[in-house]
Structure 1
Amino acid sequence: MQYNSVRPGQVWLDTEGKRIQAHGGSIITVGDTFYWYGENKEKTKPGTGIWHWGVRCYASQDLYNWEDKGVIILPEEKDESSPLHFSQYMDRPHIIFNQATGKFVCWIKVMKKDGTQKSTVLTADHILGPYTMVQGNLRPLNMSAGDFDLTVSPDGKAYYCFERVHSELICADLTDDYTNVTGYYSTHFPNIQPPYVREAPAYFFRKGQHYLFTSGTTGYHPNPSEVAKAKTFHGPWEVLGDPHPEDVSRTSYNSQITSVFKHPFKKDLYIALADRWMPNLPELAGEDHANGEGYRKSAEIYQAIFDPDTDFVMEETHYSLLIDINTSKADYVWLPVRFDGEMAYLDWKDEWKVEDYE
């Protein structure tokens, strides 16, 4: 199928007619080619014990039509202790290029089965690999590190923003080779527990301002996003509000933002990439989804899980919505960012074109 536009939330097929599998993903530009990479969930179905099947990458010239370039970081199939074993909870690969070393550096979050969350770092000479692991089971700053984003400033310095699991966001400096942290960091958005803790940080820089989109913590159930700005990467960060103010369902258009891509050949086009983990949520939850009640119930569930003093009775039907997730059929919601002064908004569009932006 040939596309000539972006259609948020609709099934997106590659040039061979297969579902694109690049979840928790990002785009990196090499020359005049866009590379979209992310978690390969093609085998992640309920009951399989398979969380991922490596990191898959696609190439495009127009951001619409994507050619499958294969699995660039392979899953480990035999060693269950490996952070890349398909049963390990591997999420959100982010790749940055180190101009000084000539290496592509990939960080991956891995939530271990004991509940701790650690990082794996790999490097390659080409965006498509092969990638070699240089750090496994890393605890950055001796912290449990969850969802994260990476960025490189114009002077070549790199930064790592991550959720210190279930407490706050950490912004940390990376070493010159981008494979570890230096030890210098700052702390932001302290919260007591889920669902209030901010996760899924998506960083971008525009006109002298640093921005972060973040989500709350309600598992696969979507929740209200939040946008913040700062004068420096290390803050202080000022919360501006929900970039989806028109969304009555309080679910960020049934999606979770994973990254923001600045189009290198456009003056001011920023694209928020998001996953729609539960495409059938509106049908399953019905009116509860449309009026925001579904989000409220999910938030209460996560508050009860992490706060033993909460007096809350979980509805079995709603709980089943949260655990029986077939992520192999998850979709994507890509939307251009609209700026009003310093505020960043994401307006719903059934269809939009890159060509409509200067």
Structure 2
Amino acid sequence: MKNKTKRSNEVKKFLILTIILGCWITAIKAQEKDISEIKSGVHWLDSKGERINAHGGCVIFHQGIYYWYGEEKVKGLSEKEHADGGIHCYASKNLVDWHDQGMILNLDRQDTLSDLSFDCNQDRPKVVYNSTTKKFVLFFKLYLRRMGHAVAYVGVAVSDSPSGPFEYQHKFLGANSPNGTGDFAMFKDDNGDLYHLTVRKPDKAFVIGKMREDYLLPEGLYQVGDGITKNTEAPALFKKDGLYHMLSSGSTGWAPNAARYFTSQSLYGPWEYHGNPCKGINPYNELGPDKTYGGQSTYVVKVEGLKDAYIAFFDINKPDHPYDNLYIWLPINFINDRISITWKDSWNLDYFKKQ
């Protein structure tokens, strides 16, 4: 009788452990499935469960790893209260599971005479690798402390490593204008030449300038982009089959507006306007194409190893509490060499394999 009871207890324990193990495996699989999904318009967490804090930025691919750079927003501060804390970096092998690499460039809360004083504004960081100098070069829009927004510089920092730290080098006024430039893209062409594409202050013309071979300063004069509408901001470029594609926005401050889409055979133009490529509705704020889902374009990344796979990035800006800014990443579709972007609540990279 005792042996039967003992065996019965052992069977019960075995069954309980089997059920627990089964639940654990199911939970792990569910978690893995959830991690693989890209969900726009919600807060994203890194591999440690902390909120990803990298706004207005870019993603580059280097030696098998993607690096995501963006503005660190200080919790509890508004944009008027100088919420910028510096530039944050995350790394991933699959564009969905992100590991915190820490701050690569901090604003200085001690030296009020520094260009990077805590109460400056440091926006829309972009990183490019220079294969000649073997340096990673970081660019960002820089408004100096207590100088307002009439004059905007481009800040430059460099590093030997994609995960930093980056060392601040200098600032420059782009577009051959004493007022500098606003939102910009740094586009590296197939031959390694780098271009600064940006809106010029104060007339809001869209201009293009080639950078020096070391990428640290403009090489010469900028040219107006033939065919690009005035007041075009937030440029995000990529090149496919010899054709340049540019996703951008209008100019309405922090308020969202309709996306703009241009193509050209040359960076300097003529550019052809194709209207708004966005479709669908963001269910979290019920905003559609006329407001770009509540966001603004920031970057387009190519997915390595997959044919014609590109992701369009938008940021939902909340100037009163920018720590709560949100990300939108959506797959780009091609129809007769023109792009189309449709809202998706959830998707993964397998989407490109089905196209």
TM beyond 0.5:
yes
Q: Secondary structure of the residue that 2:140 maps to in structure 1?
A: strand
Q: How does 1:228-243 map to 2 (within 5 A)?
A: 228-243=262-277
Distance 2:341 2:228 in 1: 25
Are 1:185 and 1:234, in contact at CA under 8 Å, matched by a contact in 2?
Answer: no
Q: In the alignment, is residue 125 of structure 1 matched against residue 160 of structure 2? A: yes
With over 3 angstroms needed to count, the CA separation of the structure-2 counterparts of 1:147 and 1:8, relative to structure 1, is same
| Partner residue in 2 for 1:290 | none
CA gap 1:254/1:141 in 2 versus in 1, 3 angstroms: closer
Q: Give the direction of change, closer, same or farther, for the CA distance of 1:249–1:152 in structure 2 (3 Å limit).
A: closer
Quick check: 180-189 or 150-159, which moved more?
Answer: 180-189
Unaligned segments of structure 1, at least 5 residues: 279-323
1:160 aligns with 2:196: yes
Give the letter aligned to residue 30 of structure 1. H
For residue 31 of structure 1, report the CA deviation from its aligned partner.
0.9
Inter-partner Cα distance in structure 1 for 2:57 and 2:71 = 7
* 1: CA distance, partners of 2:158 / 2:55: 20
Q: Is the 8 A contact 1:43 1:50 kept in 2?
A: no
In the TM superposition, residue 264 of structure 1 has moved relative to its aligned partner by 1.8
Q: Which runs of 5+ in 2 are unaligned?
A: 1-30, 282-287
Q: Which whole-Å CA distance do the structure 2 matches of 1:182 and 1:251 have between them?
A: 36
Within 2, Cα distance between the matches of 1:81 and 1:250?
Answer: 42
How far apart are 1:176 and its partner, in Å? 0.3
Change (3 A) 1:81 1:251: farther
In structure 2, relative to structure 1, the CA distance for the partners of 1:210 and 1:48 (3 Å cut) is closer
For residue 80 of structure 1, report the CA deviation from its aligned partner. Answer: 2.7
**Residue number in structure 2 paired with 1:46:** 78
Structure 1 residue 134: Cα displacement: 2.0
Secondary structure in 2 matching 1:357 = helix
The code of the aligned residue for 2:323 comes to: S
CA offsets 1:252-288 (integer angstroms, 9 cap, x no match): 111111000011221111101110114xxxxxxxxxx
1:220 is aligned with what amino acid?
A: W
The answer to whether the 8 Å contact 2:175/2:200 transfers is: no
Question: Is the CA contact 2:91–2:99 (under 8 Å) kept in the aligned structure 1?
Answer: yes
Q: Which residue of 2 aligns with 1:298?
A: none
For residues 307-326 of structure 1, the aligned pairs below 5 Å read 325-326=320-321
**Counterpart in the other structure of 1:134:** 169
**Residues 176-229 of structure 1, C-alpha deviations (whole Å, 9 max, x = no match):** 0001111143212576xxxx6111111110111101111111111111000000
Following superposition, the deviation at residue 81 of structure 1 comes to 3.7
CA displacement at 1:245 relative to structure 2:
4.6
Report the AA paired with residue 316 of structure 2: R
SS at match of 1:251: helix
Task: Give the aligned residue type for 2:299.
Answer: S
Q: Which residue of 1 aligns with 2:304?
A: 264
Quick one: which of 240, 246, 253 aligns to 1:206?
240
8 Å Cα contact 2:156-2:170 kept in structure 1: yes
User: Does the 8 Å contact 1:141/1:183 carry over to 2?
Assistant: no
Q: Paired residue for 1:151?
A: 187
**Secondary structure at 2:206 match in 1:** strand
Partner in structure 2 of residue 95 of structure 1: 127
Letter in 1 for 2:200: R
Does the CA contact (< 8 Å) of 2:279 and 2:289 recur in 1? Answer: no
Q: Which letter does structure 2 place at the counterpart of 1:345? A: S
Work out the percentage of aligned pairs sharing the same amino acid: 31
Distance 1:10 1:179, change over 3 A: same
Alpha-carbon distance change, 168 to 155 in structure 1, aligned in 2, over 3 angstroms: same
Q: Any idea what the Cα deviations from partners look like across 1:26-50, whole Å, max 9, x if unmatched? A: 1011111111110001336238823
Aligned match for 1:175, one of 212, 227, 247:
212
User: How many Å separate the matches in 1 of 2:167 and 2:121?
Assistant: 19
Write the letter of the residue equivalent to 2:100: D
Aligned CA-pair RMSD? 1.8
TM-score, normalization by structure 1: 0.82
Aligned to 2:116: 84
Which of 345, 352, 355 is matched with 2:350 structurally?
355
Deviation at 1:133, TM superposition (A): 2.0
1:5 is the counterpart of 2:5: no
Structure 2 match to 1:108: 140
Contact 1:33 1:61 (C-alpha < 8 Å) held by counterparts: yes
Query: Which 4+ runs in 1 deviate beyond 6 A?
Result: none
| Aligned mates of 2:325, 2:332 — CA distance in 1 | 22
For 1:90 and 1:250, how far apart are their aligned partners in 2?
28
- Output the CA distance in 2 between the equivalents of 1:265 and 1:171: 30
Q: Distance in 1 between matches of 2:336 and 2:299?
A: 21
Shift of 1:79: 2.4
For residue 328 of structure 2, what is the amino acid of its counterpart?
A: V
Higher Rg: 2
Which deviations, in whole Å up to 9, do the C-alpha atoms of 1:73-105 show, x marking residues without a partner? Answer: 111112234332221111011100000100001
Map of 2:291 onto structure 1: 251
SS of 1:241's equivalent in the other structure is coil
The answer to whether the Cα contact below 8 Å between 2:279 and 2:343 also exists between their aligned partners in 1 is no
| Cα-to-partner distance string for 1:271-312 (whole Å, 9 max, x where unaligned) | 01110114xxxxxxxxxxxxxxxxxxxxxxxxxxxxxxxxxx
Q: How many residues align?
A: 308
Change in Cα spacing, 1:26 to 1:154, as seen in structure 2 (3 Å) is same
